[in-house]
Amino acid sequence: MTAPDPRPRDAVRAEIREFLSTRRARITPEQAGLPTYGDGRRRVPGLRREEAALLVGVSPQYYIRLERGDATGVSESVIDGIAHALRLDAAERAHLLDLLRTAGTPARATNRRPPAPTWVRPTIQRLLEAMPTVPAVVLNGRLDVLAANPLGRALFSPWYDTDEPVNNARLVFLDPRATSLFRDWETVANDTVALLRAEAGRSPYDRGLSDLIGELSTRSEDFRLRWAAHDVRIHSTGVKKLHHPIVGDLDLPFESLPLEPGASTSLVTYLPEHGTPTHDALALLASWAASEPLPSHGAPADQQRP
């Protein structure tokens, strides 16, 4: 069996350094309850490595090695100390764990996480079709649109009006129409990058994900600047603000539900309250979609695996 390429592991070590340094930079000594000396001028924003080590409860030498990606044998108590000292939220702590796990795993190990799926089970497709009044789509960790029901396709029409694969990150950053679709484009852009950053920590060997990030970094300065911030996020619920070309402005509460334990593939549903303008607009959109046949987005039937 061919050994995994060690280069992603080296890249993850660099990612640990950059992630922890950006988390340190956002916390001042005063916020951390540490004394400051001198005239207040500091060469680095936020905490120094030595100050972070003091807060974590480890030696400066140990913390510096850890921040450089030497993650072998890091204990749970040290991880908890880092999370507390740098005020990591749940998504950031999980991201750090993913990075440390990869950096501390020998390159010859073969227990890599499989790449993001590119298909959905027939039962998932039938589940989508069984929700005619609820817009629903299935996304993998790379934000590829694997499937959508008719109202889900109508909601993102004309962007989903194609039999070609659709990727939501490409839509956000490379499609000039995105700013007219997303009324809060800045928020959507930040969330999109944060989701891809978290997925990159979970799946550093996913070539498709690496290619996507490389493409977006090359073609979009907006993406490149956000990627450099190293922000990660758990994005399971919220409100999507869209402007649809047929029914106008929509404020859509959504839920993102994982389809399998430990997997990044999610069913995303949009559920406005009854009696709201958005609910009425969706009913109008459903009527429009019923009279306008749309492509059956998702993998062709002969490519869907049992």
211 and 170 fall within a common domain: yes
51 and 131 fall within a common domain: no
128 and 269 fall within a common domain: yes
Residue 215 pLDDT exceeds 90: yes
What digits encode the pLDDT tens for the residues 258-299? Answer: 998 777 899 999 999 999 999 999 999 999 888 866 554 444
42 and 168 fall within a common domain: no
**pTM greater than the 0.75 cutoff:** yes
At 181 the pLDDT is 95
Total number of domains in the chain: 2
11 and 38 fall within a common domain: yes
Residue 282 lies in a domain: yes
HEC letters along 2-62: CCCCCHHHHHHHHHHHHHHHHHHHCCCHHHHCCCCCCCCCCCCCCCCHHHHHHHHCCCHHH
167 and 204 fall within a common domain: yes
Higher pLDDT, 41 or 127: 127
* Average pLDDT estimate for 224-248: 94
At 42 the pLDDT is 72
At 302 the pLDDT is 36
What digits encode the pLDDT tens for the residues 68-107? Answer: 888 778 888 999 999 999 999 999 999 999 999 888 765 5
Residue 108 lies in a domain: no
Residue 304 pLDDT exceeds 60: no
What digits encode the pLDDT tens for the residues 158-211? Answer: 888 877 889 999 999 999 999 999 999 999 999 999 999 999 999 988 999 999
At 38 the pLDDT is 54
Question: Which residue reads 């073609």 in tokens?
Answer: 219
265 and 147 fall within a common domain: yes
What's 221's domain CATH number?
Answer: 3.30.450.180
At 65 the pLDDT is 92
What digits encode the pLDDT tens for the residues 104-156? Answer: 765 544 446 666 778 899 999 999 999 999 999 999 999 999 999 999 999 99
What digits encode the pLDDT tens for the residues 78-87? Answer: 999 999 999 9
At 35 the pLDDT is 80
At 184 the pLDDT is 96
Determine contact, residues 223/216, Cβ cutoff 8 Å.
yes
95 and 181 fall within a common domain: no
Residue 115 lies in a domain: no
Residue 114 lies in a domain: no
144 and 280 fall within a common domain: yes
Residue 116 lies in a domain: no
What's 20's domain CATH number?
Answer: 1.10.260.40
Q: What is the C-alpha to C-alpha distance for residues 282 and 250, in angstroms, rounded to an integer?
A: 8
At 4 the pLDDT is 43
Domain residues for 92?
Answer: 7-103
Q: Is the dihedral of CA 206, 269, 151, 288 positive or negative?
A: negative
Residue 66 lies in a domain: yes
68 and 136 fall within a common domain: no
